[in-house]
Amino acid sequence: MLSRPFKLSLRVILPLAVLLSLFAYIVVPLMDKLTLTWSVRDLDNRSQLLASTLQLPLREYVEANDRERIKRLFDSAIQDERLFALAYCNNDGKLLYKTAAYPASLGCWNKPVDGSKRTSMVQQPRGPVHVHDTPIQDDATVLGRLILVHDMSFIERRSAETKKYVLSFFALLAVAISALTLVVSHLSWRGWLAGLNDVLRGQLLGRGARAPDAAPPPPEMEPLIGELRGLLEEYHQDRQNSSGEAGADWAPEKLKSLLQQDLAGDEVLVVSNREPYIHDKAADGEIRVRRPASGLVTAVEAVMRACSGTWIAHGAGSADKETVDRNDHVPVPPANPRYTLRRVWLSKEEEQGYYYGFANEGLWPLCHIAHVRPVFRSADWAEYVKVNRRFADAVIAEARSDNPVVLVQDYHFALLPRMVREALPKATIITFWHIPWPNSESFGICPWREEILDGMLGSTILGFHTPFHRKNFLDTVDRYLETRIEQEASTISYGGELTQVEDYPISIAWPDYPNIAPVEQCRSEIRDYLGVPQDHLLAFGVDRLDYTKGILERFQAVERMLELYPGMVGHFSLVQIAAPSRSDLEEYMSFEQRVRRLAAAINERYAGAGALPIILKIEHHEQEDLQRYFRASEVCMVTSLHDGMNLVAKEYIAARDDEGGALVLSQFTGAARELHEALIINPYHIEQGAEALYRGLTMPASEQRERMRAMRDRVRRFNVYRWAGHMLLDAARLRKREKVMQKIHAHSRGGLRLVS
């Protein structure tokens, strides 16, 4: 059976074969005619030359009527293989002398009586011959005519060879073009299929993009991919509308309604290591509340405000214990409480082993391709198991029913879903892995890989940011556990339980900041605060001080941009906010020193040229302050070396209600799978980062609006409530499926008992 690429190639090859056949049909007679013309011309010249050679002796022999010498002259002349016969006629048209082979039908080859032109090619029984006559003269007196007859069979052979050559040429040309067409069409087909598969899998849509190591689609596919992306977005939109899930309609009220209607309750328990509000005691003894710099907190906190419930987290603030009640509860947000924060206390040894040790020296570098080796210690693993049990017990204690909705956040609690499942088998446990998931071979480095996978498969729903990470997880489970995986349904059956594994790209709550100043005011105030001129160009970066965020590469791109475009020196600055993170770990302390040294070296190089090119702020900033920087900057730089999503990119887009600004975005972030209008870069390619930064700084306002408008529309529609809602809807569908299966099994068991 013919393959599809071959069938498509035939559509090109068959018309090509017809066209080449038509050309051959036209060219072969033309070549035949040209060959004949050239051959006749050659024989005319040859006959004239031979006649000139015979002129003198023949004239003498004719005048002497010496037949014997004429015969010897003629016989000698026809020794030439092409000269067939000779004859001599007098002026009266009488044939006087001829060779034996001279055709009698030719006679003296007189002109036709009708006065038409005589042709030099005459058809004879033995084949065509060429006839040429030349007058034999004695001074001005014409004695007679010498007739030369040449055999033209060699011309027929030459013509046949020419035809054969031309036909062979066209045949070889057809074969060569067909082979080339097959190869090109096959390669193009593979490239096109790969590009289309990316789109159809959602890798170029809002659900993700190409894998970081995947090749970009062929340039000729870009228009088709753009149209297909639009069609698929319309399809998903229609599908969501038909099921009441329209992205533009996802709001807190709808999320709460979904919990009550589809999951038969509104009890939501969130488990995370980091708490959404931290109480710290200042030097003056006053207790202050701050929000941690965390994309997880930003996203999940919006869901909790909408759904109420209880958030269980590690209490790490210096005044956290002073602000809780006897049940370790504190209502939050402080100004307008919407849900309860339950704090869990850890000893220094537990925090060191569970958090700094196994989670952040082991799992974090294991899952991030950032060139830092993971470290695994048995003592850290023991603390990790212990702390997971502590948090699982807190979930069980906080549950008011046997079927709560438990949202487990991130890699700190890989074991917790199984622990909760054992105590609350009816619970809906949704685990979301906020960081990348590595390939199965890389994950095999972890000594406790089976235990971690077993713990995670206690979940009802298991979510990742991108299809790429989801597929890596399925491959890992398939390699290390005995399970049944349904690839199309993306479900894992393990130990008699079913886990749905999906990709849910996380987002933010579409912000409404009525108290934030207009963009122009923010631009002016931020520049006054930084002490730079009002026309000074600003780029902005905000990250935790982490080696995966590409801060060093960002600084190098700034330095290279100033080298390539010296006109920017003194007129541009990058404001980099780096919130301290995991500063007790040696790798993070070393990284902070490298960041400070590189920033100082670049600033020293351009000292005296005006404002410093890098304004480094290693400190925490409130969300309101970050919004002001977002609105004041021409460019936001997100250059992560590897990231699950990175919500900074979406926060920047949401803050730009003026539809201005440009986003420089790493291709190794989950956000790059959605925000196609950003300036996508490889952060390891320093020149590429420098060029993108310069392009963003000099981008025309019209292009900024076009790009920003498209990205804002996508972030607004695909917001955090949609993220949570889709996970909850999938969980509800899976629970209904399990209930139906349980009834079927119960009915079948009852039937068997009745029969027995």
**190 vs 716, more confident:** 716
Residue 459 has pLDDT above 90, yes or no: yes
Residue labelled with tokens 């302050």: 625
Low-confidence winner among 241-245, 315-319, 701-705 (lowest mean pLDDT):
241-245
Categorize the per-residue pLDDT at 100 as very low, low, confident or very high, splitting at 50, 70 and 90: confident
Query: Parallel, antiparallel, or unpaired for β 484-486 and 329-332?
Result: unpaired
Chain centre to alpha carbon of residue 351: 40
Helix crossing, 551-564 with 586-605: angle to 10°?
10
- Give dist(CA 696, CA 632) in Å, integer: 14
Determine how many CB atoms are found less than 10 A away from the CB of residue 219: 7
Residue 756 has pLDDT above 60, yes or no: no
Q: What is the total residue count of the chain?
A: 756
Cβ within 8 Å of residue 385, ≥6 positions away: 415
pLDDT for 67 equals: 85
**Burial (CB count within 10 angstroms: exposed 0-12, middle 13-18, buried 19+), residue 634:** buried
Categorize the per-residue pLDDT at 753 as very low, low, confident or very high, splitting at 50, 70 and 90: very low
- Give dist(CA 436, CA 169) in Å, integer: 58
Encode pLDDT of 427-452 as tens digits: 989 999 999 999 999 999 999 999 99
This prediction has a pTM of: 0.66
Cα separations (Å) of 225 from 93, 174, 189, 232, 258?
Answer: 86, 33, 14, 10, 34
DSSP state of 263: S
**462 vs 6, more confident:** 462
Residue 223 has pLDDT above 70, yes or no: no
Query: Parallel, antiparallel, or unpaired for β 83-90 and 95-98?
Result: antiparallel
Q: Are 554 and 683 in contact (CB under 8 A)?
A: yes
**663 vs 199, more confident:** 663
- DSSP annotation string for 163-184: HHHHHHHHHHHHHHHHHHHHHH
pLDDT for 136 equals: 85
pLDDT for 68 equals: 87
Categorize the per-residue pLDDT at 237 as very low, low, confident or very high, splitting at 50, 70 and 90: very low
Encode pLDDT of 460-479 as tens digits: 999 999 999 999 999 999 99
Encode pLDDT of 289-300 as tens digits: 888 766 678 778
For the chain, domains (ranges, CATH) are 4-111+118-161 (3.30.450.20), 265-503 (3.40.50.2000), 519-718 (3.40.50.2000)
Q: Are 78 and 129 in contact (CB under 8 A)?
A: no
- Give dist(CA 384, CA 381) in Å, integer: 5
Q: What is the mean pLDDT of the chain?
A: 84
3-state secondary structure 706-739: HHHHHHHHHHHHCCHHHHHHHHHHHHHHHHHHHH
Q: What is the mean pLDDT of residues 165-182?
A: 77
E strand segments, 114-158? 121-124, 127-138, 141-151
Residue 573 has pLDDT above 70, yes or no: yes
Low-confidence winner among 12-16, 572-576, 704-708 (lowest mean pLDDT):
12-16
Determine how many CB atoms are found less than 10 A away from the CB of residue 601: 12
Q: Are 574 and 554 in contact (CB under 8 A)?
A: yes
Categorize the per-residue pLDDT at 229 as very low, low, confident or very high, splitting at 50, 70 and 90: low
Torsion of CA 161, 162, 167, 168, to 10 degrees: 60
Cβ within 8 Å of residue 664, ≥6 positions away: 539, 635, 636, 637, 638, 639, 678, 679, 681, 689, 692, 693, 696
Encode pLDDT of 329-387 as tens digits: 999 988 889 899 999 999 999 999 999 999 999 999 999 877 788 999 999 999 999 99
Cα separations (Å) of 167 from 22, 174, 256?
Answer: 12, 10, 78
Q: What is the mean pLDDT of residues 478-494?
A: 91
Q: What is the mean pLDDT of residues 88-92?
A: 85
pLDDT for 195 equals: 62
Beta bridge partners of 408: 271, 431
Copy the structure tokens of residue 517: 């100043």
**204 vs 579, more confident:** 579
Fill in the amino acid letter for 386.
K
Categorize the per-residue pLDDT at 582 as very low, low, confident or very high, splitting at 50, 70 and 90: confident
Categorize the per-residue pLDDT at 419 as very low, low, confident or very high, splitting at 50, 70 and 90: very high
Cβ within 8 Å of residue 591, ≥6 positions away: 545, 546, 547
**582 vs 533, more confident:** 533
pLDDT for 648 equals: 93
pLDDT for 417 equals: 97
- Give dist(CA 597, CA 602) in Å, integer: 9
**Peptide bond just before 333 cis, omega within 30 deg:** yes
Categorize the per-residue pLDDT at 213 as very low, low, confident or very high, splitting at 50, 70 and 90: very low
Categorize the per-residue pLDDT at 631 as very low, low, confident or very high, splitting at 50, 70 and 90: very high
Determine how many CB atoms are found less than 10 A away from the CB of residue 716: 17
Residue 700 has pLDDT above 60, yes or no: yes
Cβ within 8 Å of residue 472, ≥6 positions away: 437, 438, 439, 440, 443
Helix (H) or strand (E) holding 56: helix 4-64
Encode pLDDT of 131-157 as tens digits: 888 888 877 788 888 888 888 777 777
